[in-house]
Amino acid sequence: QSALTQPPSASASPGQSVTISCTGTSSDIGGYDYVSWYQQHPGKAPKLLIYEVSKRPSGVPDRFSGSKSGNTASLTVSGLQAEDEADYYCNSHAGSNIFVFGPGTKVTVL
Amino acid sequence: QVQLVESGGGVVQPGRSLGLSCAASGFTFRNYAMQWVRQAPGKGLEWVAVISYDGTYKYFADSVKGRFTISRDNSKNSLVLQMNSLRADDTAVYYCAKDYKGYSSGRYGMDVWGQGTTVIVSS
């Protein structure tokens, strides 16, 4: 199972946007539209933000959006708020019902 | 309310076994695939295993394949992760999580998570 790559950190000021990339291969991100994104605050369980690349579960603000191009998926947080400061993880189907997480990106609200 | 509660964590010696349980409530458990995800201290999330809604299909990360098994009892709304031949690098918080969509095999994300149970493998 290959690893996904994410930048270790990202930051922006309140009200601005931040985009987090998640790069894999044609065996995972590039091969399937089963990419999901999670937000995790310290000491808490992860929260599902995006599934199937760009779909939002009910209750997730539309400030969170997802996309994919080739082997790279992206999560954009628009109108950044203080409570968005957290770790963000991508997850992809990697064939044969195997899944893989990215290493996570720590988002700081300046 | 929809809830998952893990139990069974603790301190275990290398090479020994431990079973984790996950009790589900507030949703139709038998309709959803379930997954286990772990997080080592200070590290990121690691996918561990998935079981289909009816228990027919089970898949594992390479790091645990052959050592861990996953099972479910839909009559009791319960999920189990049996961990054998434990190693130090299995030390982590273990979360059970529910698939977002029913009758899938884990592809649509995990929308409900438990609070996690801590496993420490140490002599």
Q: Which of A18, A22, A17 is nearest to A7 (CA)?
A: A22
Best probe of the B interface among A37, A51, A52, A90, by most B CBs < 10 A, is: A51
pLDDT band (50, 70, 90) for residue A1:
low
* A59 conformational bin, left if phi > 0, alpha if psi -120 to 50, beta if neither: left
Q: Least CA distance to B33: which residue of chain A?
A: A97
Q: Is A69 helix (H, G, I), strand (E, B) or coil?
A: strand
Over residues B35-89, the pLDDT tens digits come to: 999 999 999 999 999 999 999 999 999 999 999 999 999 999 999 999 999 999 9
Q: Which helix (H) or strand (E) holds B28?
A: none
Q: Looking at CA atoms only, how far is residue B92 from chain A in angstroms? A: 13
Query: pLDDT (tens digit, 9 = 90+) per residue, A68-98?
Result: 999 999 999 999 999 999 999 999 999 888 9
Q: Give me the pLDDT at residue B78, please.
A: 98
Q: In the predicted model, what is the mean pLDDT of residues B93-98?
A: 98
Nearest to A97 among B59, B62, B109 (CB): B59
Mean of pLDDT over chain A:
95
Distance between CA atoms of B118 and B101, rounded to whole angstroms? Answer: 27
* Tens of pLDDT, residues A44-71: 999 999 999 999 999 999 999 999 999 9
